[in-house]
């Protein structure tokens, strides 16, 4: 750390290899400089022009002012001694302090997950961070992580979490920690643009492009014709197709559910606002082939709730609008199916207190069948 200005962070340990730069010139040094060299060559990301950015685990904030095109910049990190000073340095940034999996940032055009998702994997022993990334990104996502079980960081995490999980559970789940399974997990939501070895030993970089229905160019004229219902959702039917618009948060959560359930084929186009942000979709026509108020339909809806809760409660989202009238042939057709769970840190649980609330609601759904 001798190459840093002594009045900033010099007394606080932070990963120097992940985010080191000179504060007076903004010049990257050490491993960050090496990353910059290879990312410019492999990705050309210095030429990217994202309008919005979310940097998760941003270190000392080198990338928070990297892209001048970004008019909206967000950062997410756990609370730590260095964080207060970083926040003071970047007053223009919107901060999300706490667990990224359970917070509600984004959605943004560019999402950075650099050297942190393996920590998230061990926290849940699953690829929940992939689904979370899908809900918080509508453009590109860059991930830098490690899968080698003998890599130093992975070995450290295995030792750390061996005390939390039963040995048999840990051994069984470790089989899923691999590049092959990672690629299977992101395939419903992202397209792999590029991947290559990172600068730090054992790490690999993946540049992913979010899968989105084609943009509807006449979005503005369509939105003007829409009627707003009591829930705030705008709807219109033109030439046999339905158009629905809401917020970018809701739109990305809805798209992620559709892709997770394998039903995204009903989405034919993306409605964007004046800033180019997705706010809704065009649906193809779906025929109702059974009584949506029947016992069978209610059972189908309860199972959908169970499946969605199992996946999305782990990332702080909970289905609130999956009811029989909104499900046709197993396909959710309404907007706004998720809402952020209220996170109440309590003791050792820290953030998972409301999971009981989710389970209680599921039992009520099942009881109403």
- Both 77 and 153 in a single domain? yes
Strands, E, within 189-254: which ranges?
A: 190-197, 204-210, 227-228, 234-238, 241-245
- Both 192 and 105 in a single domain? yes
- Both 303 and 261 in a single domain? no
- Both 237 and 323 in a single domain? no
* Final residue before a domain boundary, out of 254, 283, 312: 283
Residue 324 sits in which domain range? 295-367
Domain assignment present for 252: yes
- Both 54 and 160 in a single domain? yes
d(Cα 153, Cα 65) in Å, to the nearest integer?
A: 28
Strands, E, within the chain: which ranges?
A: 52-56, 72-77, 94-97, 108-114, 137-145, 190-197, 204-210, 227-228, 234-238, 241-245, 267-272, 278-283, 317-319, 327-328, 331-332, 338-340
Q: What is the pLDDT of residue 359?
A: 58
- Both 253 and 194 in a single domain? no
DSSP state at residue 28: B
Count how many domains the chain has.
3
In angstroms, the Cα distances linking 181 to 186, 187, 352 are 9, 10, 26
Domain assignment present for 2: no
* Final residue before a domain boundary, out of 260, 283, 306: 283
- Both 64 and 122 in a single domain? yes
d(Cα 1, Cα 17) in Å, to the nearest integer?
A: 10
Q: What is the pLDDT of residue 330?
A: 75
Q: What is the pLDDT of residue 139?
A: 97
- Both 236 and 349 in a single domain? no
Residue with tokens 């953030």: 351
Domain assignment present for 275: yes
Check whether the bond before 257 is cis (ω within 30° of 0): no
Domain assignment present for 4: no
Domain assignment present for 84: yes
Residues 115 and 141: beta-carbon distance below 8 Å: no
Domain assignment present for 258: yes
- Both 37 and 186 in a single domain? yes
Residues 6+ apart with CB under 8 A from 363: none
- Both 227 and 123 in a single domain? no
Domain assignment present for 315: yes
What are the structure tokens assigned to 332, written together? 């959710």
- Both 177 and 113 in a single domain? yes
Per-residue pLDDT of the chain in tens (369 residues, 90 and over written 9):
333 333 333 333 344 444 577 777 778 888 888 899 999 999 999 999 999 999 998 888 889 999 999 999 999 988 776 778 888 888 999 999 888 998 889 899 999 999 999 999 999 899 999 999 999 999 999 999 999 999 999 999 999 999 888 889 898 899 999 999 999 999 999 999 999 999 888 999 999 999 999 999 989 999 999 998 877 789 988 887 889 998 999 999 999 999 999 999 999 999 999 999 999 999 987 777 777 777 777 777 777 877 888 888 888 887 776 777 778 777 888 766 676 754 434 444 444 444 555 556 556 555 554
Q: What is the pLDDT of residue 176?
A: 94
* Final residue before a domain boundary, out of 172, 191, 210: 210
- Both 189 and 62 in a single domain? yes
Q: What is the pLDDT of residue 198?
A: 92
Q: Looking at residue 175, which CATH number applies to its domain? A: 3.40.50.150
What are the structure tokens assigned to 220, written together? 């503005």
d(Cα 92, Cα 64) in Å, to the nearest integer?
A: 10
Give the predicted TM-score (pTM) of the model: 0.87
Q: What is the pLDDT of residue 17?
A: 41
Domain assignment present for 328: yes
């Amino acid at each position: 750390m001798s190459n840093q200005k002594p009045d900033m962070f010099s007394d606080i340990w932070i990963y120097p290899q992940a985010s080191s730069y000179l504060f007076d010139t903004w010049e990257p040094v050490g491993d960050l400089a090496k990353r910059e060299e290879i990312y410019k060559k492999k990705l050309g990301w210095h030429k990217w022009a994202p309008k919005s950015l979310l940097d998760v685990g941003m270190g000392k904030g080198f990338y928070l002012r990297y892209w001048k095109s970004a008019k909206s910049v967000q950062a997410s990190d756990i609370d730590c001694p260095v964080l207060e000073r970083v926040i003071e340095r970047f007053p223009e940034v919107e901060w999300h302090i706490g667990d990224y999996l359970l917070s509600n940032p984004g959605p943004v055009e560019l999402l950075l997950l650099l050297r942190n998702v393996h920590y998230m994997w061990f926290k849940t022993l699953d690829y929940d961070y992939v689904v979370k990334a899908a809900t918080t990104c509508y453009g590109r996502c860059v991930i830098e992580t490690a899968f080698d079980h003998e890599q130093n960081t992975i070995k450290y995490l295995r030792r750390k979490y061996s005390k939390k999980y039963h040995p048999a559970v840990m051994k069984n789940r470790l089989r899923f920690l691999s590049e092959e399974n990672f690629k299977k997990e992101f395939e419903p939501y992202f397209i792999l643009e590029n991947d290559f070895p990172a600068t730090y030993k054992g790490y690999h970089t993946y540049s992913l492009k979010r899968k989105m229905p084609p943009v509807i160019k006449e979005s503005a004229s369509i939105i003007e014709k829409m009627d707003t219902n009591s829930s705030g959702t705008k709807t219109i039917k033109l030439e046999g197709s339905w158009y629905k618009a809401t917020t970018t948060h809701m739109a990305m959560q809805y798209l992620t559910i559709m892709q997770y359930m394998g039903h995204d084929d009903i989405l034919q186009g993306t409605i964007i606002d004046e800033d180019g942000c997705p706010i809704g979709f065009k649906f193809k026509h779906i025929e109702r082939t059974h009584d949506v108020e029947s016992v069978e339909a209610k059972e189908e809806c309860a199972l959908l709730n169970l499946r969605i809760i199992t996946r999305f409660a782990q990332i702080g989202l909970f289905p609130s609008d999956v009811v029989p009238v909104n499900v046709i042939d197993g396909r959710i057709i309404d907007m706004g199916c998720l809402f952020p769970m209220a996170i109440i840190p309590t003791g050792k649980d820290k953030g998972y207190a409301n999971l009981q609330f989710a389970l209680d609601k599921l039992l009520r759904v099942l009881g109403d069948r």
